Homo-oligomer: A and B are copies of this chain.
Amino acid sequence: MVEQVQILLPKFPRGFHLITHLIEENLPPLPDKGILHVFIQHTSAGITLNENADPTVRTDFETVFNKLVPDGAAHYIHMFEGSDDMPAHIKSSLVGQSVTIPISNHRLNPGIWQGIYLCEFRNNGGRRRIVMTLLS
């Protein structure tokens, strides 16, 4: 059985943001077991799972990703969409554009401390579209 829900997130500033609640509140009743695929329809943003408790983790994510793939590096050719565009594409492929989460006992079962992060890599990314597909 397949169910699918498409949502439009509110606009977030550049950085890593917990969106678990926005995902969960848009889901239908969950089956006994299955998987949930959460997909972002963009390649200058990403979706990942990480620690949901301490906000400094998300601050450090932003710092570290900017050091790994800096804005406006001299070796980028693709520059006409802004100095934050090419690094956003690279970061998007590093973290990925989707997560797949097991469903157990009618609940998402990612572990205790796991939250779903929107990784907004653009300075002005705007509202991002998410496709959630539930297989059971």
Contact = CB atoms under 8 A, between A and B. Distances in A.
Given A41-B114, A133-B34, A86 B102 contact: no
Interface in A32-87: 33-35, 37, 39-44, 48-51, 54, 56-57, 59-61, 63-64, 67-69, 73, 75-78, 86
Interface string A1-22: 0111010000000000000000
A93 B90 contact: no
Q: How large is the interface on A (under 10, 10 to 19, 20 to 34, 35 or more residues)?
A: 35 or more
Interface of A: 2-4, 6, 31, 33-35, 37, 39-44, 48-51, 54, 56-57, 59-61, 63-64, 67-69, 73, 75-78, 86, 89-90, 92-102, 104, 109-114, 117, 129, 131, 133, 135-136
